[in-house]
Amino acid sequence: MKLKKWSLILTIILFIFCIWHLFFRCKFDISSFRSEKVTNLNEFKFVINSKICRKDEFLIAIVCIAVDNFEQRKIIRQTWANFDSIKTVFLLGSSVNKSVNKLVEEENKFYSDIIQQDFIDTYSNLTLKSIMGLQWISLYCPNVKYVLKIDDDVLVNIPFLVSYLKSLKYLDNYYIGSYQIGAPVIRDEQFKWAIFPSDYSSNCYPPYHQGPAYLISGKFAPVLYNISKYTRLFKLEDIYMGILAYQTKTNYVAINGYYLNNPEFSLYQTRQLSRNGKSKIFAFALREEFLAIWQLFKKLINE
């Protein structure tokens, strides 16, 4: 009895601390991002535009990947993207190396799954890639039911994901992923995610889903794209998506338990789960372990 009593007390204390942290310590203000006038004209042009959508698609994956990462695109096509229940396109900027752009053109002639605009492909332009993805969905795939935005180092158990999505009551404004709330802003310049106060003055971010893999309703894509036109750019892509979502009526869905977030342990954890016939939907993977994790996913899928 005493143990249960102390457990209850500790739970209440933790709850109070979380509330205090979120509502008193964690404060965010995104007013500096918003404008009454169009701030992002998005004048970048489609260099390659693979119009692959039929009238009604259930699930489209838009993969953020470096323009010169030919090998990883090949591996993705051969693994999780090789299912009839999903269409996949790769989001690319342009290379300063003209020979790389030429190779991408040849690649697309064979696969017809590349979306490319004429901004320079850099890490700092990841936000532009996601905006390009929203724009492309809005213009060329407006009837798709769900959109998966995913990075190239994440594996997906597609049958498990499709099963989960079909279990949902469909809403036009779903924003689904590894939910983060009260995330602090990193100021230490040693980290690549460090943000200067001049770029973002608050001490924490609005709610968002981690960038490597999240989903939105297809009908939500044009809503977010239109909001982006009036929202100042921010270099952290997933935070920017959270800033866009926060400005409209959004149905946040947290599926944190469906992720293996630490690539250092993904292979080990996938092995442990597979022994019991279980799996996560998403696994962040080290490059050298990508195929090994996929084989474990595939074994479960085929059972």
Which residues, other chains included, contact 212 with Cβ-Cβ below 8 Å and sequence gap of 6+?
150, 151, 153, 154, 282, 284
Question: What is the predicted pLDDT for the residue at 212?
Answer: 95
Contact 216, 223 (CB under 8 A): no
> Could you tell me the CA-to-CA distances from 289 to 256, 274, 293 in Å, in that order?
22, 16, 6
Q: End-to-end CA distance of the chain, in Å?
A: 45
| The predicted structure's pLDDT at residue 14 | 54
Listed as ranges, residues in the chain with pLDDT below 70 are 1-25
62: tokens are 């838009």
* Token couple for 302: 């085929």
Given CATH 3.90.550, say whether it is the number of domain 32-257.
yes
Helix axes 126-140 and 237-246, enclosed angle (nearest 10): 50
The count of other CB atoms within 10 Å of the CB of residue 192 is 10
pLDDT score of 26: 78
Question: Cβ distance 118 to 45 under 8 Å?
Answer: yes
pTM value is 0.90
Please state the domain extents for the chain: 32-257
- CA-CA distance, 266 to 240, in Å (whole number)? 27
Question: What pLDDT does 13 receive?
Answer: 56
Helix orientation angle between 266-274 and 290-302, rounded to the nearest 10 degrees: 20
Token output for 297: 């996913």
